Amino acid sequence: MIGYIMRRLAAAVPVLLMVSLLAFLLMQIVPGDPAYAMAGSDASVTEIEAIRHDLGLDRAWYLRLADWYLALLRGDLGHSYTLRADVADLIIERIPVTLSIALYSLLIAIPCSIAMGIVAARFRGKLIDLGIMTTALLGVSLPNFWIGIMGILFFSVHLGWLPSGGYVPMGEDIGGWIRSMTLPALVLGTMQIGLLTRITRSEMLDIMHKDYVRTARAKGGSELRVLVRHALRNALVPIVTVIGLLFGMIVTGAVVVEQVFSIPGVGRLIVQAILTRDYPLIQGTLLFVAGAFVLINLLVDISYAYLDPRIRQA
Amino acid sequence: MSAAASTETVAPLLSVEHLRIVAAARRREDLLVEDVSFAVHAGEFLGIVGESGCGKSMTALSMLGLLPGPNVRASGGRVLFDGQDILTMGGSSLRHLRGNDVAMIFQDPMSSLNPVQTIGEQIVETILLHEKIGRERAWARAVELLAEVNIPAAAQRARDYPHQLSGGMRQRVMIAMAIACKPRLLIADEPTTALDVTIQAQILELLDRLRRERGMAVILITHDLGVIAEYADRVLVMYSGRIVERAEVASLFAQPLHPYTHGLLGSVPPLEEEVDELVAIEGQPPSPGAWPSGCRFQPRCPQSRPECASWSVRLIESEPDHAAACILHEHGETSHAD
Amino acid sequence: MTNISTTDHTDLQPAPWLALFGEGAMSRRLFRSPTFAVGFSIVALLVLAATIGVWFSPYQPNSMDLTARLAAPGPQHWFGTDNFGRDIFTRVAVGSQMSLLVGLLVVVITGIGGALLGALAGYVRALDNIIMRVMDAFMAFPAMLLAIAITAALGPSLMNVVVALAVSYIPRTARIVRGTALVVREQQYVEAALVAGAHTRRVLLVHVLPNCLGSLIVQLTFVFAYAVLAEATLSYLGVGLPPPAPTWGNGIASGREYIVEAWWMSLFPGLAITFAVLGFNLLGDGLRDVLDPHLRAET
């Protein structure tokens, strides 16, 4: 088990090196001089020069690359121009916000889609299967910013049940947090539900024909027990893989949803960085997201070992 | 059916009457099993032999209500266990029956065990499904059962996952799981096909020992007549969804009545010297849906006659406890061409 | 001599385009799938809307009419008007042109790029590791986020949006092609072709590409769906095609501020996006069932 985790960790290192190189290169493709873009049209030559100096643009690219990696080793993601703060600090401040919506949405999406996937697989070809699969397909086809707006229109403007945006920290007022986060979490969850339901259904269909499921029936287990304890338990490995893949979807979703509902999370920080052309902030947040993605995949690999004894003992 | 019932005075444990199983495909229905009738008595060892696709596994699955529905279903007949029809049984009585009164082991022990549970847990699950005892006592029982099926160091092995065991060991685990609730009938569907030859004998020996010790009936489904000769009391030969011959083992081997049984005996190494040469049956068994009319063996039969194609097939008893479904016996003739 | 023997071996393998577009059973099998049929109809309707839909409207997509600001849907303006008095029906119809154009360009570039990189990685052992490690790094970024970052760096314009989306989907496409190429490389007829003196380039074109065509078509159909969705999202976030362009995403973005007074501003473009993405997803599902039963739904 320890050996397996160490091997996975070692495999993540070259990916992280490439990812940080990519984040560095991304800012080198900015056409013209980033300092001009950042300073705005009415900046003076000296202001631009100052920015150029601060960004290190007056130095050779390989020196900047070396600086970038050295800073990363110290955990330094750079310095934001518009917000006048360390990028790492800005991200850390906002992690709890984004993480809490993400977990809330998963809490809604995972049980819903597993239940829907099992029902659809069990009643394959029946009307209820068609209904669930159509819902799931809508889930992956609906633009989330649009359902966000439609949700505001219906639940906030029309019914007045939920606030149309803003954020209440969980520590201050748990009820307020639930009210402000429910709509965003639902919106963030739609695409996850669509994808997970489809995967759960196809995995269950696969596994329901396995011999050990027949054995479970021959023992006298109830249909629910057979489906959940035997079939679903074995389908979990591929389902967990997809939950890991969902991370990408959640981050992109968070960027959009935080924008729609004015929630001060990491996603909104990214949009803000892009709209204000704050290049160090763009670079830092991107690298953070990619790094987190690599980390999540690592956790997924480790959870395989927990879920599947064949991997654990390999 | 009257043939089997008339010779026995004790009510059979299981009796199958005119069982008919169909597979529904898009806009058509294929017969898989037709007019199958037989009985099994307590403590008896019954063999069902036939090539793959002859309907023997489907017949076995129907005895637990485990036909792979909704496309495959029993469309006629009865499967009576203790006088109750399994085919019309509801979910909860069916669950009570499975694993408790009737247990089953399958062909492939590699895939028949849940790969993510320890073997101990899987045996415990069976016990707890049918008996109200504590988990710890169930675990102790599971370990005893593993020891009973000759698994060494049973207490440690109980904590292993299926992939850590060899094929033979896994089949022993399946047997331990099957006998956990002292069933009165154990159905073994080709239990040794996936195993080494040396292991085969051990597994069959084990099944036979458990049958004797526990007085349970065993139905062994196989394509291997040699195995039948060694262990079974009575045997059913199936071909293309029908029983073509039913006999005591001794009389089947001494005097096979159906030309198909003849052919099968020709393709196993001779037991007695009377069988003069090894002749394999020509051709392939037809697949369900492509069965010829009349006798289904007739296109491959060395003794077929024009009437075979229109004969209404039925088992004809020519000796006590020995019946064959062949036109040659209709007028009391015997089939010996030699 | 070389030619003869390679053609001989080519005959042994299926040519998917013939099977698909010839008079063979493929198209009939496709239309027997209700999923494909519905998806195909939606996409056909979309193409129809993009080509002749605009003729049904007397308005220009960018002509403003300040006397008819925020008019509700009615006989004058079927989908209502926006905050500048522009006809939303016209803008949604023209928006379908934009979405289809972006989708098409992204699919073409992704297809060519993904097929080339994937075939090279799968076929040329020396390049495999380098190409796939770079692809892995790209895939460590969520696709749409990478696209957002690239458009942010390059600046918002049609071509930059297309490039950004293509770059973010090429690695995923390349991986699929590489998988097939790895299998094909080991086949006897490829070895035979090489023994007969065929060039690597020829083997790639004649053997590897036709074999991945099925999975490639399926993947690209889904890429089309993603591209439509991503383009709308980029527009909404303000890094897509800049505002006067009547894209669906821009329509929803401006509708956000008028949500209380004019729900129709955001409703109709959103329905159009859903409709389009749904159509391409259904088409992809239907194609996958027929062309590539082994491929699973993946992001």
pLDDT for position B278: 46
Q: Give CATH 1.10.3720.10 domain extents, chain A.
A: 87-312
Asked if B95 lies within 8 A of A220 by C-beta distance, the reply is yes
**ipTM greater than cut 0.85:** no
**List of long-range contacts for A67-70, beta carbons under 8 Å, 24+ apart:** A68/A20, A68/A24, A69/A20
Q: Homologous superfamily of A87-312 in CATH?
A: MetI-like (1.10.3720.10)
Contact assessment for residue B257 and residue B311, using Cβ atoms and an 8 Å cutoff:
no
**CA–CA separation, A205 vs A227, rounded Å?**
11
Residues 6+ apart with CB under 8 A from B95: A220, A221, A222, B129
Q: What pLDDT was estimated at residue B18?
A: 92
Q: Does the pLDDT value for residue C218 go beyond 80? A: yes
Q: Say whether pTM exceeds 0.90.
A: no
* Distance to chain A for B103, nearest Cα, Å: 7
Backbone φ and ψ of B204, nearest 5°: -65, -40
Q: Tell me how far apart the alpha carbons of residues A115 and A106 are, in angstroms, rounded to a whole number.
A: 14
Q: How many CB atoms lie within 10 A of CB A98?
A: 23
Least confident of A99-108, B275-284, C228-237: B275-284
Are C42 and C278 in contact by the 8 Å Cβ rule? The answer is: yes
Lowest mean pLDDT among B167-176, B206-215, C80-89: C80-89
Which chain C residues contact residue A195 at CB under 8 A? 297, 299
Neighbours of chain A (3+ CB pairs under 8 A): B, C
Going from N- to C-terminal start, the domains of chain B cover 14-101+185-329, 109-182
Question: Is A274 within 8 Å of C263 when comparing Cβ atoms?
Answer: no
pLDDT in tens, A21-45: 888 887 777 766 667 766 666 777 7
Q: What is the mean pLDDT of residues B172-178?
A: 91
Strands A79-80 and B84-85: unpaired
B115-124, B312-321, C15-24, C139-148: which is most confident: B115-124
Architecture of domain B14-101+185-329: 3-Layer(aba) Sandwich (3.40)
| pLDDT attached to residue A37 | 67
pLDDT for C10? 35
N-terminal to C-terminal alpha carbon distance within chain A: 8
pLDDT at residue C4 tops 70: no
pLDDT at residue B157, rounded to an integer:
92
- Cβ neighbour number for residue C74 with a 10 Å cutoff: 10
Distance CA(B185)–CA(A131), nearest Å, equals: 43
Residue C1 has pLDDT above 70, yes or no: no
Contact status of A135 with chain C (Cβ, < 8 Å): no
Q: What is the pLDDT of residue C143?
A: 82
**How would residue A207 be classed by pLDDT, with cut points 50, 70 and 90?**
confident
CA pair distance B312, A292, nearest whole angstrom = 74
- Is the pLDDT reported for residue A2 higher than 80? no
The mean pLDDT value for A35-59 works out to: 72
pLDDT value for C26: 64
Question: Which residue, B184, B175, B208, is CA-closest to B100?
Answer: B184
Q: What is the pLDDT of residue B3?
A: 43
Using DSSP, how many helices (H) and how many strands (E) does chain A show?
14, 2
Whole-number pLDDT of residue A14: 81
Minimal Cβ distance to A310: which of B66, B91, B115: B115
> Among C272, C224, C268, which Cα is nearest to C106's?
C224
The Cα of B123 is separated from the nearest Cα of chain A by a number of Å equal to: 9
For residue C238, the chain A residues in CB contact (below 8 A) are 271, 275
Both tokens of A187, joined, read 């919106």
Q: Does the pLDDT at position A167 exceed 60? A: yes
Query: Would you state the pLDDT for residue B279?
Result: 54
On the question of pLDDT at B275 being above 50, the answer is no
pLDDT band at B234 (very low <50, low <70, confident <90, very high): very high
Q: Which of B90-104, C24-38, C120-134 is most confident? A: B90-104
pLDDT at B331: 67
Q: Can you give the pLDDT at residue B211?
A: 92
Chain segment A122-159, per-residue pLDDT in tens: 888 889 989 999 899 888 889 988 998 888 888 887 78
Measured CA to CA, the distance from residue C210 to residue C216 in angstroms comes to 10
Q: By mean pLDDT, which of A13-17, A233-237, C182-186 is the weakest?
A: C182-186
pLDDT in tens, C97-107: 888 889 999 99
Whether residue C14 is predicted with pLDDT greater than 70 in this model: the reply is: no
- pLDDT over 90 at B235, yes or no: yes
Most confident segment among A141-155, B124-138, C14-28: B124-138
C254-294 pLDDT per residue, tens: 877 877 777 777 888 888 888 888 888 888 888 887 776 54
Using the Cβ of A13 and the Cβ atoms of chain C, whether some distance falls under 8 Å is answered with no
For chain B, give the mean pLDDT. 84
pLDDT higher at B139 or A42: B139
Q: Which of helix, strand or coil describes residue B338?
A: coil
Mean pLDDT comparison of A49-53, A270-274, A277-281, highest-scoring range: A270-274
pLDDT confidence band for A72 (50 / 70 / 90)? confident
Q: Chain A: which residues have CB within 8 Å of chain B?
A: 209-212, 214-223, 229-230, 233-234, 307-310, 313
| Residue B326, pLDDT above cutoff 80 | yes
Q: Cβ atoms within 10 A of the Cβ of B285, count?
A: 20
Residues of A whose CB is below 8 A from B91: 222-223
Share of chain C above pLDDT 70, in %: 84
**Lowest-confidence range among A306-310, B5-9, C3-7?**
C3-7
Range with the poorest average pLDDT among B74-83, C63-72, C146-155, C224-233: C63-72
